[in-house]
Structure 1
C-alpha cells in the first residue's frame, strides 16, 4: 500500500526538479546501483549483478545524452563517461569488484564536484 505513494512521490520529485538537481539524482542513482552490483557479486548473484550494472550503464548513457556541448569541459566529461561505460561493460563480463570500485570512485568525485558547483551557482544568484 505504501509503495505506490513512494513511487508517486519519486515521480513528482523528478518531474519538478531543476536540471541541476536531476544530474545530482543521476549521480546518486549510479552510485547506489554500483554498490548494489558489488553486493550482488559478493553474494554470487550474477543475475542481479548484471541488472544493477546495466542500470549504471543506462545512467551513464543519460549523462552523455544530457551533456551541454557548448562548454569546452563537455568534451572532457564525454571522454570520461565513455571510459566509465567501457569499464562497466568490462566489469559486467568479468564480475570484478575492483573495476566497480574504480567506477564508483569516479562517480563519487563527479557527484561531489557537481554538488559544490550547485552550491557555488546558487550562492552567486543571491
Structure 2
C-alpha cells in the first residue's frame, strides 16, 4: 500500500516547495534561492565529513547552479548599478570558492561561502518590509 522508505514524505515536501515557489513574489524567490544554496552547502559539508565524494560533488554542484542560474542570472546589471555589479562579482567569487572547496576537500571554504550567503540572506529578509511597502504603493495609487 505504501512505498518503501520516505517516498510519501519526499513527495509531500516537493509539493510544498513547488507551491511556495509558484505563489512567491520575486523577493521571496530570492530568499528561497539563498536558503536552497545554503542547504546544498550544509549537505556538502556532511558528505565531506562522511568521505562521500560523489554526493559531496553533487551537493556542491547544486549550490553552484543555484548561485549562477538563480541568484546571478536574476541580477539586472544595467539597472542595478554598483550594487548589482558587486553582487555579480561576489557570486562569481562564491562559485570559485565552492569549486576550490570541492577540489581541496575544504570545509573552511564551504563555511566561508555559507557565511557570505547567510549575510546576504539576512539583509534580503531585512528589506522585506520596504519591498512590501513599495509593492503596495502602486496598488494604492491605482485606486485613486
State TM-score, norm by structure 1. 0.92
* Rounded Cα–Cα distance in structure 2 between residues aligned with 1:77 and 1:47: 30
State TM-score, norm by structure 2. 0.81
Runs of at least 5 residues in structure 1 that lack an aligned partner in the other structure: none
Work out whether 1:64 is the aligned partner of 2:110. Answer: no
Deviations 1:85-122 (CA, angstroms, capped at 9, x unpaired): 11011111111000101101100000000001113332
User: In structure 2, the residue corresponding to 1:111 is in which secondary structure?
Assistant: helix
Correspondences of 1:1-126 after superposition (within 5 Å): 1-61=8-68, 62-69=70-77, 70-72=79-81, 73-123=83-133, 125=136
* Rounded Cα–Cα distance in structure 1 between residues aligned with 2:12 and 2:107: 34
- Report the number of matched residues: 126
Larger RCO (CA under 8 A, 6+ residues apart): 1
Deviations 1:18-73 (CA, angstroms, capped at 9, x unpaired): 11100000001111111110111011111111111001000111211111221111
Runs of at least 5 residues in structure 2 that lack an aligned partner in the other structure: 1-7, 138-144
Q: Give the structure with higher Rg (CA).
A: 2
* Rounded Cα–Cα distance in structure 2 between residues aligned with 1:2 and 1:106: 31
| 1:11 shift after superposition | 1.1
* Rounded Cα–Cα distance in structure 1 between residues aligned with 2:42 and 2:72: 21
Q: Which contiguous aligned blocks of 4+ residues in structure 1 show a shift greater than 6 angstroms?
A: none
